Structure 1
Amino acid sequence: MATIAHRDLAYRWFEEVWNGRKPEVIPELIAPDAVGHLPAGDLVGPEPFLDRVYRPFLAAFPDLHIGVEETLGDADDIAVRWLATGTHTGEPFLGLPPSGRPIRLRGITWIRYRDGQMIEGWDCWDSAALIAQLRGDNPPA
């Protein structure tokens, strides 16, 4: 599959799964044995991602939006630079009660594809900066 097709799959991931709130698309886009390398540790498969990442983020930030700022691809890999914005009005997150504060967080997700599905991914974002924003120590720029 060409790099452009992988880029389109990455856009689907952010637009449909995250912004469109379509968890039913996750098993279509993530292989059952896919490995996600996240700041809090590795996850394998769609269900752990749903339970430990997707649902907690959306429960804490009901208005979460992740915009794709840029992509860069090579063969089966696509790097996505993104900007997440939202307001902590939902559930507690990272041990902090709902603050009502806005967040603005940039990150990079590197995705490896095989046969039209994610087989490995790396997320890189500054969790300390997010915590500082939630505490009001460092308002979003």
Structure 2
Amino acid sequence: MLRIQSGKETGSDSVRHSAGLWARALHRLQEAAVNVTAHSVDPADVARAAFRSVATGHLDHFTDLLHEDVVYDVVPVGLRRGRQAVRRYFEEIRLAMPDLVMTMEHAVGDDRYAAVEWRMTGTFDGAPYQGLAPTKRHIALQGVDFVEVDTGRIRRSRTVFDGAELGRQIGLLPSRGSAADRAATRAFNVKTQLTDRWREHHARQRSHAP
């Protein structure tokens, strides 16, 4: 067996050392390959897959596309933090509208962000939604999801749609242009005028105070 003098490694030690270096190098290459694959995923494709999973009711697949600490900001409703909270929100929507139909209009993205324009229709005749009892009203909405994708999964998402329009369609708010809508507008304007007068009155009183 070859031995190297002056305290150096033996031949077998050198082989083991080289094998260890190769093993560590291979491990680093494998990790790099995983990272490259994750980073090379098109965010628009991730957004499309997430949308289709919700639209078809495959919420297990949808949840797999979310980071563990994902933040979903549904602007008219509020924040949902974490995979399970986001999943429960979409379960609530599907239970509230059993005949829900979701259609993706467009999806675009760059190397980190994506946007999905969508439409949805359904009948609010299932379970309650956000504490509201079902009214058996038909709903037709459009909106946009803006998502941030990190290592192939959604890190953050912001959903924007007309919450007031949803309220009108389910009967929570009066229909646009209806007698009730006009009455509410008049009442609001009267309140605003009275508030302005009250503020002006108190401002004058303060200005004349000794």
Match of 1:115 in 2: 151
- Please, which runs of 5 or more residues in structure 2 have no aligned partner? 1-38, 177-210
Amino acid at match of 1:108: V
Matched residue pairs, number?
136
Correspondences of 1:1-141 after superposition (within 5 Å): 1-2=39-40, 5-16=42-53, 18-39=54-75, 40-51=77-88, 53-135=89-171, 137-138=174-175
So what's the TM-score if we normalise by structure 1?
0.86
Amino acid at match of 2:78: G
Q: Which has the higher contact order (CA 8 A, sep 6+)?
A: 1
Q: State the alpha-carbon separation in 2 of the partners of residues 27 and 131 from structure 1.
A: 28
Q: In the alignment, is the contact (CA less than 8 A) between 2:125 and 2:137 conserved in 1?
A: yes
So what's the TM-score if we normalise by structure 2?
0.60
Q: State the alpha-carbon separation in 1 of the partners of residues 69 and 129 from structure 2.
A: 27
Q: State the alpha-carbon separation in 2 of the partners of residues 130 and 14 from structure 1.
A: 20
Bigger strand fraction: 1
Which is higher, the Rg of structure 1 or of structure 2?
2
- Please, which runs of 5 or more residues in structure 1 have no aligned partner? none
Question: Which deviates the most, 92-101 or 21-30?
Answer: 92-101
Bigger helix fraction: 2
After TM superposition, where is structure 1 displaced by more than 4 Å over at least 4 residues in a row? Answer: none
Deviations 1:72-101 (A, max 9, x none): 212210011110111111012244322222
Amino acid at match of 1:131: G
Aligned sequence identity (%):
26
Q: State the alpha-carbon separation in 2 of the partners of residues 15 and 98 from structure 1.
A: 25
1:2 Cα deviation after fit? 4.7
Q: In the alignment, is the contact (CA less than 8 A) between 1:59 and 1:90 conserved in 2?
A: yes
**CA 43–93 in structure 1, closer or farther in 2 if over 3 Å, else same:** closer
Q: State the alpha-carbon separation in 1 of the partners of residues 155 and 133 from structure 2.
A: 34
Q: State the alpha-carbon separation in 2 of the partners of residues 111 and 82 from structure 1.
A: 13
Question: Which deviates the most, 122-131 or 5-14?
Answer: 5-14
Q: State the alpha-carbon separation in 2 of the partners of residues 138 and 66 from structure 1.
A: 24
Deviations 1:97-130 (A, max 9, x none): 2222211111110000011100011111111111
